[in-house]
Structure formats: C-alpha cells, structure tokens
C-alpha cells in the first residue's frame, strides 16, 4: 500500500515572489545618492572639527603665558589629589539635587495652581503667588543664598537650623520654585478651555477638572523645560559652598587655598559637566520624542 505525497505548493510560492515589491532602478540610485551624501557630510564634519581643534590647540599652546597657565590650571599631580575629594563632595550635590528638585516641583505646582485659580475670592492668593514669582525670579540666586545662609543664623531664632546645607537647599528651593511655577502656569494656560468645559459637562467639579484633565496635559507638555530647570539646579547646587558646606566646589576650594594651584577647580568643573551631559542628552531625547508624537497627533 503506497501513500501519495503532497506536492509542494510551487505555484503559490512563485506568485508570492512575483507579488514581492522590487524597487525601481531610479529609487535605488536615489538611495545610493543619499548614502553617499551622508558619508560625505560626515567626513566633512569630522575634518572641520579636527581642523578647528588643531587651530585652537596651536593658539593656546603657543600663547606667551601657556607654560604658567598649564602649571597653574592643569597640574596632573594636583588633579589626582583633588579627584577623590571632589567626588566625595559631589555626593552632597547629588543629594541636594534630589531633595531640592522634589521640593521645587511640589512648591512650583502649588504656586502655579494658585496663580490660575478663578473667582474674586482667590484674588489675594493670586496676588501673593504673583509677588512670590516676581520677587524670586528677579533676585539673583547668589544674593538669595547669602541672605538665607548668612542672615538666618544671625537672627538666633529658637528651633531654626543653622546648618548651611539645609539653609542653602532652602534658598535653592525658593528661587527655582519661582521659575518652575511659571513653567507649570504656562502649561496650564496652554490647555484649551474646551477641555475644562468638557470635564465640567461630564459632572466633574472645578477641582476634579483641574486634577484629572488640565494638570496631566499641562505637565506632559512642559516636561522638556522642567528637565532644563533641573539641569540648571544641578549646576547651582555648587553655590551652597559659600556657607561652608563641603560639596564638590568647596572640596576643590580647600585644596586650592592650601596649594595656590587652581587645578582642583578644573577637576570640579569637569565632574559637574560629566554629571550634566547625561541629563542634557536625556532632555533632548524627551523633547524630540514629544515633538514626534505631537506631529503624529499623539499628544493633545
């Protein structure tokens, strides 16, 4: 007894092959031209970067004062001595960023909501919120830090801390919450009034419409500028050193005061840059992602 074997479906495979898309020669040429242009642009960019770097290097190293500058700012021995101490002090800057960043977001949101409250009964609250943002946005951060870090202990108030880290963090929070409040307020006002009206028509109260409809859209739209403010806050945490807090900047300052060599400042600056670049690139990625979604209609 023999069993007939099924013949392979040759016809269907041939039909699929015939139906497969075959790009035209013109399209192949166009894609080849694009790749060639991309390689050419990359090569030109690399060469121009190398040429610019070489020119800058020659200008710097051939300057009359370069030997003295190199000895004062780029001494490898002092760099090795300063790096572990600066890195140890950087942990204080990171903690300040985390704590102050959270406090800034909360306080900034409250101030922004206060500025957007409707009705005559909330007029005093709106005035106070506007005065707060105007004052702390106009007051230089360094002066705010000096007033809080140096002025509060001079009052000798019972139960008030004199810790320069806590006072410096308070000054940073006061200043940056004013900037973040304006970012949140811009986001709230960018939400179309029809969104609030639609929420009210569904039976939501004003508070519920603000919480569940307006604020989620406002915060989502303002993520990139909020991240930029956090990047600036990360850099400005180094200013708490004026009160004596031993952070990365103060650790470098101690070595500079003993050695009269400024290399530790360069080390501290490079450490801050290394910490800031990932946050900046993440901000750029979030911005580009939101722009693509907005272009596709994914963000309202």
pLDDT, tens digit, 9 for 90 and up, residues 232-265: 998 899 888 888 888 889 899 999 988 889 999 9
d(CA 74, CA 162): 37
Whole-number pLDDT of residue 1? 47
Mind listing the pLDDT tens digit for each residue in 23-47? 788 888 888 889 999 899 999 989 9
Identify whether the C-beta of residue 217 lies closer than 8 Å to the C-beta of residue 191.
yes
What mean pLDDT do residues 278-288 have? 83
* pLDDT category of residue 298 using cuts at 50, 70 and 90: low
pLDDT at 15 over 60: no
Rounded CA gap, 40 and 58, in Å?
27
Give the whole-angstrom CA distance, residue 63 versus residue 210: 61
User: Which pLDDT score, from 0 to 100, does residue 263 have?
Assistant: 92
Contact 294, 113 (CB under 8 A): no
* 3-12, 87-96, 109-118: the lowest-pLDDT one: 3-12
Residues 6+ apart with CB under 8 A from 281: none
Distance CA 26, CA 19 (A): 20
DSSP assigned state of 191:
S
């Amino acid at each position: 007894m023999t069993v007939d074997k099924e013949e392979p479906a040759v016809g269907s495979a041939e039909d699929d092959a015939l139906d497969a898309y075959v790009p035209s020669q013109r399209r192949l040429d166009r894609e080849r031209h694009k790749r060639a242009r991309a390689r050419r642009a990359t090569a030109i960019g690399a060469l121009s970067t190398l040429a610019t770097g070489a020119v800058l290097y020659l200008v710097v190293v051939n300057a009359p004062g370069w030997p003295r500058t190199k000895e004062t700012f780029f001494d490898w021995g002092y760099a090795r001595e300063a790096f572990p101490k600066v890195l140890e002090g950087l942990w204080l800057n990171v903690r300040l960023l985390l704590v102050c960043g959270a406090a800034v977001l909360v306080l900034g949101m409250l101030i922004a909501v206060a500025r957007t409250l409707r009705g005559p009964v909330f007029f005093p609250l709106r005035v106070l919120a506007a005065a707060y943002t105007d004052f702390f946005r106009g007051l230089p951060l360094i002066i705010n830090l000096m007033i809080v870090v140096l002025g509060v202990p001079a009052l000798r108030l019972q139960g008030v801390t004199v810790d320069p880290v806590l006072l410096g963090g308070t000054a940073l929070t006061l200043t940056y919450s004013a900037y973040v409040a304006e970012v949140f307020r811009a986001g709230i006002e960018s939400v179309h009034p029809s969104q609030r009206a639609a929420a009210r028509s569904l039976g939501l109260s004003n508070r519920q419409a603000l919480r569940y409809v307006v604020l989620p859209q406002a915060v989502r739209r303002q993520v990139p500028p909020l991240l930029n403010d956090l990047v600036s806050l990360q850099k400005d945490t180094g200013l708490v050193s004026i009160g004596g807090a031993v952070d990365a900047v103060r650790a470098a300052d101690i070595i500079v005061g003993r050695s009269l060599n400024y290399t530790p400042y360069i080390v501290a600056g490079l450490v801050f840059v290394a910490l800031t670049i990932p946050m900046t690139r993440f901000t750029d990625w979030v911005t580009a992602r939101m722009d693509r979604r907005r272009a596709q209609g994914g963000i309202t």
